[in-house]
Structures are given as structure tokens and as C-alpha cells.
A and B are shown apart, each in its own frame.
Chain A
């Protein structure tokens, strides 16, 4: 089911690479001001879902919409509504953090002043001493913070994240999750794909299990403990079937 206020919506999506279906009738909606985690193993169709929303791949059938725009028809318009953080945040090592931000924002048709960039870096938790340093010596966490600062500055209604906490240390993950909650509270629709159940449970309002391009389970956070991780894990395992020895 897709709620009426869904900013991101996919309905009966079928995407195939050659004869192999990757999304097989996927239906998913992400409302504004929420974080949805799309969970699944390798080949479940998580990254293809993001690629479809970004207009990189064409669906064989079904409908897709980002803020009412079909990315397959007008990818540039859809991308104006989306901030995307890939799994490996690769920026330009020979530019400083500030220059990277300025460049990526220019490619988004934005020209924020230096103060706005500084505020975004501060919000993303990037230490002030690093702002004007080239990225060559930055850790993955620091690069991630630069990228999230860019996403914050874009002030778009949709944030797509691909394995955002993969490779981050626990402290950096906690910082990132806190930041993500702020983004959500600003009304952004966040869709993160991950294979890490614990990471999803930490921050998501809703976890959607994906297997072979189909939704196998859809669990919303409930109460102060949000998710029963053990129960989720059991459901996840049963949905994926027995693991071969």
C-alpha cells in the first residue's frame, strides 16, 4: 500500500536486466518526514530501486514517482528533488571539503555562501579544522560528513542513501543517525537501502524487507523500543529461507 502523502512511490515495478527480473512487481511508498529502510541481501533489488528513482534504469512496467515526477520521463527534474548518497562517498581528493561542497552544489544549480556551507559542515559534525583541507587525508566518516552536508544544503524533499553506515565506526554511525533524524524532522522523505538490520533498526521509522525484487515484509517502528530486533531478525531469516550449510 502507498499512503496518499508519499513523496516517493513505486507501484508494481518490474525492472529486468536482459531476461533477469531484478524488481518483480515492487510497490513501495515513502511519506515526507519519515525514514524507510529497505533491507535485503545481495541481489534483492535494493540498489536497483534507488537507480530507478534516480532515472538510471527504465522499468519494464509499473509506475514510479518522485514528488509527482516520473524519473524515467524527466530524470533531471526528479534529480532536482533528490539528494543521493552512494555507498562509497567518493569526492575529489584534490579539492578541499568546502570546494567539494561548492562544486557538487553548483552541479545542483545552487550557490550557497561560505557561511551556509560552514553551518552545514558543523551540522554534519565535520570538525572546523577540516573544512579547508583537501580530502586526500580524510577518513571515510569525514567524507561521509562532507557528503551529508551537501545533502543538507540542497534542502530537497527526498534523500536516498545506499548503505550509508557501511564502514563507519560506531561513533560516526551514531553521529550519522542523529543527523538523519534531524533531516527527517525537517520533513524530508528518507529512503535508505542497507543489508544491516541493526543499523536500520537504529534509525528507521519503517523497515521493508526485500527479496528477489519483491517486498516480503513491512514493519513499522512501534513504541519507545521502536523495533524488536530479535523478532525482526527471525522474520528476516524466515523470509530468506534456510541458509545452505
Chain B
């Protein structure tokens, strides 16, 4: 009874302080807004993905009739685009992660794949700098500021108002009082962040385990900042000095160190740009026009003996040669593509390791990992594209290398992304 009564009084005291009430309301507003922004982004992506079948039918219909006239499989393979997509996870609304800078829909042709994949790397990097305004952003970057507002004067404020002695002289004052007030503020901050998140996550059909994990993550991250505030409060500085010190700590731990660490990791693990792979790929592909066609076919058959029983090239243009040098182009840059991927994974691994000592980095990495919006998810999507593209090539090659006519009905037999 006593503890509940005290909590009731502490709540009244807390909400009568204008700065505290406004801070909590502002954090609630930012949390809800960030979640709504995340939902809007995810809904937009889902709508784009949902529109794919209709658009695909329209595209294929536009070429199917004239393809059907001369039944050339090369034209069918060359002119038809096939969509791939990366469906957002139910939790993507909370941490958009790489989904706002990396493509979540890629329409591929049976041509050289690397250039198609890495053309997506030519986004404006400035757009990626501030990051998406999502729940992860509010938690990682903004929530610590609210901890500072609510905790910087927890004890020092009472000292400065000359109430500390009065409170400490009461049986349930002193340390128990500071613990109670800390717990209350901590609980309110957690609630303001957790309640909108949990409600939305349930609506989005997120499983109980990821929700629980994120709720624990929110609590742990807040606890880190509350602990830091308590540590600084033990120095018995003024409230202004506490606030300044905590703000500096925020600047260092949330902005400066992660940025410097990112620069250091990027320098330690140099990675070529994806566009360089695309360009190298294009150079090999375009160079094929300058070399004897037989050389191209020889190289292709050496790597893909499955098609080597195809008729030799005649004097006229044949699409199988064209597609062969495209595939040769992919294979020529395969080591670069592997190195690029390993470099990205290496950087990601270092960033994750940094997360063990830098909570802001760790929380961000954890949220995007749980939400399936991190680099791992992005690379997994690329893997799915590559697997699909291989099926696509093999489908068209059956027609191309054996000179089988390709009618409009054959489009229906083309592999579909997402189906095996």
C-alpha cells in the first residue's frame, strides 16, 4: 500500500513539472510519428510489390504478340524483364535499415546480372546520411536526450532547491527515494517507447519473441543512459554541469565515435564501389564485340558444358552468342563481386563487434538484424536474385541453344521469382 501511495505522489510530482510532462509528451509524439513514418514506408513498399504482377502482365503483353510473330527466343529473353522483390518483414516498420537506400524491387533480364545488381548502388549518398526517421532512429539517437532531460537533475535539482536534506531526513527519503524516482522515470520513458511499438508490432503480426527481444533492448539501452546519468550525478556537480556532461557524452557516444569508427573500419577494409563492378562487367561485355565470337563461345562452353552440344555459330548474328558473352562478363567480374561482398561482410562484422562496446551501434545493429533490414538481409536478397537469374538464364538457354521457337505462351512457363 505504502509503495503504491508513494508512486502515486511521485507521479503527481513528476507530471506537475512542466519540463518533464512536455518531454514525455514530445517523446511519445516522436515515437508515434516515427512508427507511422515506418508504417507508411513499409506500406508504400508493400503496395509497390503488390503492383508487380499487374505491371508484369502488362509488360509481357506488350511484347508477347510481336515476339510470337517470329518466335525468336533471343528477342524474348532480351526484351522481357522479370521482377524480383524483397518483401518487408512485419518488423521492418521499426527499423527501415538499408531498405531506404537499397532496392527492394529489381527487374532483371537474362543478360549480364552484375551490372543490373550494382546499378542500384548509384543512389545519392547524401540521402542516406541522415537515415530514415523510424523507431530505431528515435530510440538510438533521440531517447538518450530525453533520459538526459529527466535524469540530469534528479538529485542535484533537489540539492539546488535545498530540499535534499528535508527529503533525506524522512524515513522513506534518501537513497530509496532516488531509486524510486529513477525507476519511475525509467519506467515512463520505457512505456512511452514500448507501448506504441508493441501495439503496432501486434497489429503487424510480429511474433512474441522479436517483440520481447526489442522490449528488452529498449530497456537495456535506456538503462545504459540512466546508469551514465547516475554515475555523473555521483560527482555532485550542478544540474547544468550534469546536463552539459551528459550532452557531451551523447555527442561522443552516439555521433562522433560511431562516425570515426565507421571511417576507421572503411579504411581498414577497403572495398571497391559496386558501380565499379558494374562498369568492369560492362567493359568485358562490350569488349566481346571486338573479339572473335568463337573465343567467346569456347570460353562459355568451357564453363557451361551443358550447352556445348548446341549447333556451331553461323555467319549471322545469334542471340546465344550475345547471351554467352553477357554471362562471360558476369564470370569475369565474379572475383571482384566476391571480394566486394566479403569486404561488406567484413565491415559489417567489425561494426557489430563495435556494437558490444558502443550501445548506440549495438542497438541499431540489433534492431535492423531482428527487422531483417540489415546488410545480411540485403545480401540474402541478392542471393535470391542470383538464384532466380540462373533459373531465368537456364529457361531461355533451353530455347536459345537448341533453337526452339518461343511463342507467347512460353512466357507463362518462365520461372517466377519466389517460386522454386
Contacts and interface: CB of A to CB of B under 8 A. Distances in A.
Contact of B162 (A90, A94, A95, A103): A90
B166 A86 contact: yes
A108 B172 contact: yes
Contact of B170 (A99, A102, A104): A104
A108 B171 contact: yes
Contacts of A84: 165-166, 169
Given A92-B13, A103-B13, A107-B6, A79 B162 contact: no
A223 B9 CA distance: 48
A229 interface: no
Given A92-B13, A107-B6, A79 B171 contact: yes
Contact of B2 (A89, A91, A109): A109
B160 to A, nearest CB: 10
Contacts of A240: none
Interface in B89-119: none
A125 B188 CA distance: 39
B171 A106 contact: no
A120 to B, nearest CB: 16
A195 interface: no
A86 B165 contact: yes
Interface in A5-64: 54, 56
Nearest to A81: B171
B306 interface: no
A237 to B, nearest CB: 31
B310 to A, nearest CB: 87
B171 A76 contact: yes
Nearest to B172: A107
A88 to B, nearest CB: 5
A91 B164 CA distance: 10
A148 to B, nearest CB: 13
A99 B171 contact: no
Interface residues of B, number: 22
A84 B169 CA distance: 7
A98 to B, nearest CB: 12
A80 interface: yes
Contacts of A102: 9
Q: Which of B161, B163, B171, B173 has the most CB of A within 10 A?
A: B171
Interface residues of A, number: 27
Interface string B206-241: 000000000000000000000000000000000000
B162 A107 contact: no
Interface in B1-29: 2, 5-6, 9, 12-13, 16-17
A140 interface: no
Nearest to A82: B169
A147 B162 CA distance: 14
Contacts of B161: 90
A95 B166 contact: no
Given A94-B16, A99-B12, A107 B171 contact: yes
Contacts of A108: 170-172
B168 interface: yes
A80 B2 CA distance: 14
A111 B5 contact: yes
A103 B13 CA distance: 9
Contacts of A94: 13, 16-17
Nearest to A77: B171
B37 interface: no
Contact of A106 (B5, B16, B163, B165): B5
Interface string A105-133: 01111010000000000000000000000
B170 A107 contact: yes
B19 to A, nearest CB: 11
B177 interface: yes
Nearest to B173: A107
Interface string B368-397: 000000000000000000000000000000
B171 A54 contact: no
B167 interface: yes
Given A90-B161, A111-B5, A95 B170 contact: no
Interface in A200-239: none
Contacts of A54: 168-169
Nearest to A134: B16
A56 B169 CA distance: 8
Contacts of B5: 106, 111
A106 B167 CA distance: 11
Contacts of B165: 56, 84, 86
B4 to A, nearest CB: 10
Contacts of A99: 12
Interface of B: 2, 5-6, 9, 12-13, 16-17, 161-163, 165-174, 177
Given A86-B169, A94-B16, 20 more contacts: A56-B165, A79-B171, A82-B169, A84-B165, A90-B162, A90-B163, A90-B166, A91-B163, A91-B166, A92-B13, A92-B16, A92-B163, A94-B17, A99-B12, A104-B166, A104-B170, A106-B2, A107-B170, A107-B171, A107-B173
